Amino acid sequence: MTPSTTPDSDAAAEDIALMLAVKSGDERAFESLVERHQFRVVGTVAKMLGGESDAEDIAQQVFIRVWQSAPRYNPSAKFTTWLLTITRNLVFNEMRRRQRARLVPLDPGDADRPPVGHADASARSAPEEIADAELQAAVTRAIASLPETQRIAVILRRFENMPYEEIAKVLKTTVPSIKSLLFRARTDLRERLKNHLGG
């Protein structure tokens, strides 16, 4: 690796090379892209919808759209930005479909499930586990209650560590608008979670 490159820039360059191969009909390159990014897409979809019930199905639709859109792909932005723009569009469509069907976007079962990532439950007391699960459920509900654009901005910034510039491209807006959006979202989240965070 030369001093001017970083793991991130190498990964971005590899994504573009794979996608250009997909553009030429290379199915193996497509499989590699799916393997590299499926967990990111599933995780983003699950957080946007407030539960994992349909996340894998929608993630599959995202990658189908990637394959179908490959002939028109132009590497003018990072592949992940383009991928998450497709993800955003399909998730917004699903959210609107649910609203029309008068469905709650949060999977009611999620509130009773412990959060993923605490495999060693024996290391903590039962009250601590319950309190943590309740906080995780409250955070999930609070994020799910945000307006669509605020919700995806928070998810991309907080969970994907995406720079403001990339979030702005995904949401087709400006960096100042993203910062304002995130400020409003964080203010709203603090208000919704104040009972869980000691006021």
The parent domain of residue 89 ranges over: 7-110+122-192
Backbone angles phi, psi at 4, to 5 degrees: -85, -5
pTM here?
Answer: 0.66
Determine, yes or no, domain membership for 197. Answer: no
Number of H helices, E strands in the chain: 8, 0
- The CATH number of the domain holding residue 73 is 1.10.1740.10
Determine, yes or no, domain membership for 36. Answer: yes
Determine, yes or no, domain membership for 198. Answer: no
pLDDT in tens, the chain (199 residues): 445 557 777 888 999 999 999 999 999 999 999 999 999 999 999 888 877 778 889 999 999 999 999 998 988 878 999 999 999 989 888 888 877 765 444 444 444 444 444 444 444 555 666 666 676 777 777 888 888 888 889 888 888 888 999 999 999 899 999 999 999 988 888 888 877 666 4
Determine, yes or no, domain membership for 41. Answer: yes
Which are the contacts of 104, defined by CB distance < 8 A and separation ≥ 6? 98
Determine, yes or no, domain membership for 167. Answer: yes
Determine, yes or no, domain membership for 63. Answer: yes
Number of domains in the chain: 1
